[in-house]
Structures are given as C-alpha cells and as structure tokens.
Copies of this chain bind each other. A is one copy, B any other.
Amino acid sequence: MSVTMQMTTDQLNAFIDAGIPAFRAAGYHVNQVADEAVQVRWRYDAGAIRPGGSISGPTMMALADTAMYALILARLGPVGLAVTQNLNIHFLNKPRDADLVASARFLRLGRSSAVIDVLIHAEGQDAPVAQATGTYAIPARTG
C-alpha cells in the first residue's frame, strides 16, 4: 500500500468484486495502487471489437469510469457511494488488439468533489489510446 492510499490492490479488488460482480466478469481488475495513481486493466476480449477493428468506445469509457471509481476508493477507503457527475473522453489512437491499462490520478480532491484524469494505453503501444476527465461527488463522511 502506498503512503497516501487507504486500500491495497487486493482490498480494492475484493471490495469492488463484492459490490459489482459484473466488473470482473467483463474483464476489469485493479492492477496496481501507487502513491498518486491507480491502474485498472481490461483483459482483451475479441467480443469487444467493432467493425473496422477497434476496441469499442464503451469498453474504454467503462474502463475510464472504473479507474476513477477505484482511485476514489483507494484514497478515501471503502466509504461507499461516490457518484460520477460528468465524464469527458477523447479517443486518441486506435488501440491494437491487446489488454488496455487505465491510469487514474487526482487533478483535485476536495471535501465534496473530486476531479480525476485518466490516461488509457494499449499494452505494447506507446501512444495513448484515450484520455478522460471526470468529476465525482463525494458523500459527506461521518466520523
């Protein structure tokens, strides 16, 4: 576990798998929790390929959203119901047929909201395939 994070990779995967069984079933898992970033990986699945040969947009959008959610959990602990308010994604380069890895980091972490940046790479391809920013509402914490 990193200095600033509240959950390890294993704890994160266990928490998400319990709450959202569809997560692992669709090929996503938390790959790494580092000091300032969380990586989520999507395992390549030919069923997500679209005509023209690219991995589908919704696969990358779901990966970006999942990486943001995992980052908030990792940093704040299993507080529950952070809610996506907004997600903006740019598709940059056509990914090769490979696993995708999304790396999420905070642009801002306030008391009631967070803004997160995500960069998605296809394994073995230098140029990023997508970039996203999102805002999350963070529920009031009691303590």
Which residue numbers of A lie inside 8 Å of B, CB to CB? 19-20, 22, 47-48, 50-52, 54, 56-58, 61-62, 65-66, 80-81, 83-93, 107-108, 112-113, 115, 117, 127-128, 131, 133, 135, 137
Residues from chain B with a CB closer than 8 A to the CB of A108 are: 90, 92-93, 127-128
**Separation in Å of the A126 CB from the closest CB of chain B?**
12
Closest B residue, CB atoms, query A82: B52
| Contact residue among B54, B62, B117, B128 (Cβ-Cβ distance under 8 Å from A61) | B62
In the complex, 12 of the A-B residue pairs with CB atoms within 8 angstroms, ordered by the A residue number, are: A19-B50, A19-B51, A20-B50, A54-B83, A57-B87, A58-B62, A58-B66, A62-B62, A87-B88, A90-B107, A90-B108, A92-B107
Q: Given A115-B92, A117-B131 in contact, is the A58-B65 Cβ separation under 8 Å?
A: yes
Cα A86 to Cα B107 with chains together (Å): 13
Cα A88 to Cα B113 with chains together (Å): 18
**Separation in Å of the A137 CB from the closest CB of chain B?**
8
Instruction: Contact check, A133 vs B52: say whether CB atoms are below 8 A apart.
Output: no
| Contact residue among B51, B57, B65, B84 (Cβ-Cβ distance under 8 Å from A65) | B57
| Contact residue among B19, B54, B83, B90 (Cβ-Cβ distance under 8 Å from A85) | B90
**Separation in Å of the A59 CB from the closest CB of chain B?**
9
8 pairs of A and B residues whose beta carbons are closest in the complex: A58-B62, A88-B88, A92-B108, A61-B61, A19-B51, A52-B81, A57-B84, A90-B115
